[in-house]
Amino acid sequence: MEESRDSRVKRFLTSNGMVILGFIFILCLIALLAVGLVQNKAQSENFKYGIVFDAGSSHTTMYIYKWSAEKVNDTGLVYEIEACKVKGRGIASYRNLQEIPVYMSQCMGRAKDVIPRFKHQETPVYLGATAGMRLLRFDNKELVEKILSSVSSLFKSYPFNFQGARIISDAEEGSYGWITINYLLGRLKEKHSPKSLFWRKNESQSTYGALDLGGASTQITFVPVNETHTSSEMLKHFRLYGRNYTVFTHSYLCFGKDQALLWKMARNATQLQSDLLLEPCFHPGYTTTMATRKLYGSYCSRKFNNLDQGDTIRIQGTGNFLECQRSILELFNASFCNTYDCVFDSVHVPPIWGKFGAFSAYYYTMSFLNLTSEDVSSEEMVTRKMEEFCSTPWAVVNTTFADVNKKYLSEYCFSGTYVLTLLQKLGFTEYWNQIEFLNKINGYAEAGWSLGYMLNLTNMIPAELPPPKPFSRPTYITLMVFFSLLLAVVFILGSVIFQKSSHFWK
């Protein structure tokens, strides 16, 4: 009788214990799942795409960007998955508008192949034109409108979500370039980027300045140390990820690499007694001809039009760095300029400080000349290299770099000397080692205004930081470990009780 009461109690305790343990086990499982789900909710990848046409003065490039819709607020998660060079020169040179589809369709076809068909309709397409179209606007506003509307009609015939074709302003070009590099370098947010692990709180100005050298204009944009001396027109204000930024930005029209060369040669050609122009910025032995229509055809070089000259001039290189630099320096002299826009010294650049990312022709030129390394820490080193390079005969340069595009190759002496002089004029003489020459940043995307433009138009960079995750990382890990341990304990306890009770029942 005693024994059976005892066994009833044991049986009661065992079965209830198992029920309680089972209950705790299920609770732990639910808690684990809940913590995991809440922390990592919506992890399934839903990709989005965006297309930007960078219609520059020298050529147009189509960039396709891809990002995960759920992770959009994390820094550096937008990838450039395609960069397609549109055939021909920049859109400002289009004269036969019927031919626009011939130029554009190849890259648009590429976009149709690269982006999944079911995403076409929601994918935005933007076209932003820069200095080439700004220059054309001075001469022929009607043609500018016609080019933009022809491009727009063509883009509307594609299955994408066309958002417009327009000339972007100087300030937009500089500011979006600044946003692009700081976004890709992880400088705008404190978290989620390996590069920003060492970001110190309140280090609000540790962004990179941006230096863009295009074919027709050049931009400088950075956060000045003390903006009180800077004209308020040159300052732009942003609020990105909960931080306020005030940047100085300016674009110098005609100071792009191609226009500066044309302008300089046109100026030198005014003193000619014959049709032969001796050009110190080309290698000795280099010869070419140029139509005077082209030489004086640009808004930037027109002022020097010499009506007595014939249809073409002959150009012969002399390869003299010092002479080349001297003739470049004259461009920075206000008296050679016909409008306020291109007076270099009319704009006071605040004192240079902090790191700068230099891209486009800054990068193309300096990477060819092997001058992008951190070891090249002073302008004297660049000067020495340029002296040697410019004086190298064209025949030698041509055979040494046989596979390099001939137009680019013939101009590297000018481009290198121009980059050096421009940076000196912008105030980098003492700060050469603060410049990093950048192309594709961290493997994500090319430096340039186009990514910043898309991030802005798709509202991908919020003014405020997104709400934090429900649990901090340590809390999340502690909770997961706690519930996993509890699960293990409950499981072990349950097994022991089960074994004991089955042994007891035997």
Ligand X SMILES: Nc1nc2c(ncn2[C@@H]2O[C@H](COP(=O)(O)OP(=O)(O)OP(=O)(O)O)[C@@H](O)[C@H]2O)c(=O)[nH]1
Q: Which residues bind ligand X (CB under 6 A)?
A: 56-59, 90, 130-132, 214-217, 256-258, 360-361, 364, 368, 408
Q: How many residues interact with Ca ion (rule CB under 5 A)?
A: 2
Interaction between residue 177 and Ca ion (CB under 5 A): no
- For residue 32, what are its two tokens? 């684990």
Q: Tell me which DSSP letter residue 217 carries.
A: E
Amino acid in the structure at residue 388: E
Specify the residue, 190 or 411, whose C-beta has the smaller distance to ligand X: 411
Which of 134, 117, 114, 98 is CA-nearest to residue 62? 114
Specify the residue, 155 or 176, whose C-beta has the smaller distance to ligand X: 176
Element of type H or E holding 294: helix 292-295
User: Is 82 one of the annotated active-site residues of the chain?
Assistant: no
> Interacting stretch for Ca ion, rule CB under 5 A, among 71-79, 208-216, 364-372, 377-385?
208-216
Q: What does 460 bind: ligand X, Ca ion, none (CB cut-off 5 to 8 Å by kind)?
A: none
Report the C-alpha gap between 468 and 470 in whole angstroms.
Answer: 6
* Beta pairing class for 243-253 and 124-129: unpaired
> Interacting stretch for Ca ion, rule CB under 5 A, among 145-153, 210-218, 385-393, 465-473?
210-218
Residues whose CB falls within 8 Å of the CB of residue 431, separated by 6 or more in sequence, listed in order? 352, 353, 356
Question: H helices within 432-472, ranges in order?
Answer: 449-457
Amino acid in the structure at residue 182: N
Report the C-alpha gap between 491 and 485 in whole angstroms.
Answer: 10
Report the C-alpha gap between 443 and 184 in whole angstroms.
Answer: 9
- Start-to-end CA distance of the chain, whole Å, equals 19
Specify the residue, 50 or 214, whose C-beta has the smaller distance to ligand X: 214
Active site residue: 172, 173, 379, 411, which one? Answer: 173
* Beta pairing class for 124-129 and 79-85: unpaired
| Number of C-beta neighbours around residue 270 at 10 A | 12
Q: What does 440 bind: ligand X, Ca ion, none (CB cut-off 5 to 8 Å by kind)?
A: none
From residue 213 to residue 232, what is the string marking binding to Ca ion with x (rule CB under 5 A)? Answer: -x------------------
Specify the residue, 75 or 301, whose C-beta has the smaller distance to ligand X: 301
Q: Least separation, in Å, of the C-beta of 360 and Ca ion? A: 6
Asked if residues 212 and 360 have their Cβ atoms less than 8 Å apart, the reply is yes
Residue 55 forms beta bridges with which residues? 60, 129
Element of type H or E holding 406: helix 406-426
Q: What does 177 bind: ligand X, Ca ion, none (CB cut-off 5 to 8 Å by kind)?
A: none
* Beta pairing class for 435-437 and 356-360: parallel
> Interacting stretch for Ca ion, rule CB under 5 A, among 49-57, 289-297, 320-328, 493-501?
49-57
Amino acid in the structure at residue 465: L
| Number of C-beta neighbours around residue 393 at 10 A | 14
CA-CA-CA-CA torsion sign (469, 473, 478, 484): positive
Q: Least separation, in Å, of the C-beta of 275 and ligand X? A: 25
Specify the residue, 167 or 487, whose C-beta has the smaller distance to ligand X: 167
Angle at 180 between CA 160 and CA 220, to 5 degrees: 125
- Answer for which of 35, 48, 53, 56 binds Ca ion (CB under 5 A) is 56
Q: What does 417 bind: Ca ion, ligand X, none (CB cut-off 5 to 8 Å by kind)?
A: none
Q: Least separation, in Å, of the C-beta of 140 and ligand X? A: 17
Element of type H or E holding 367: helix 361-368
Q: Least separation, in Å, of the C-beta of 368 and ligand X? A: 6
Q: What does 58 bind: Ca ion, ligand X, none (CB cut-off 5 to 8 Å by kind)?
A: ligand X
Report the C-alpha gap between 334 and 314 in whole angstroms.
Answer: 28
The binding site for Ca ion (CB under 5 A) comprises 56, 214
Report, as residue numbers or ranges, the catalytic residues: 173
